[in-house]
Amino acid sequence: SDHILTHVFLFVFIACSCNSTGTKNGTTCHKQGGQCHCKPGVTGHACDRCKPGYFNFTGSGCTGMYSKMIENL
């Protein structure tokens, strides 16, 4: 008898819940997993907080400590 192998792929589609302040303009999240495209210095699944060592969460992203030190020279 013939055996037919059937592969079932289950993809989990998660609705986007991206933070509009921390997400790059004009982007959406990945269809699989829901990861948003973050602005510079921003992190998190929804791009909702600054990366460690960064601060000042704004529409431009977050500022790094190093760039702030150069600015003050």
Looking at per-residue pLDDT, the higher value among 24 and 69 belongs to 24
Amino acid at the residue 35: Q
H, E, C per residue of the chain: CCCCCCCCCCCCECCCCCCCCCECCCCCCCCECCCCCECCCEECCCCCEECCCEEEEECCEEEEHHHHHHHCC
Q: Which of residues 14 and 21 earns the better pLDDT score? A: 21
pLDDT above 90: percentage of residues in the chain: 52
Per-residue pLDDT band at 42 (split at 50, 70, 90): very high
Whether the full predicted model's pTM is greater than 0.75, yes or no, is no
Q: At residue 71, does pLDDT exceed 70?
A: no
Residue 68: predicted pLDDT: 52
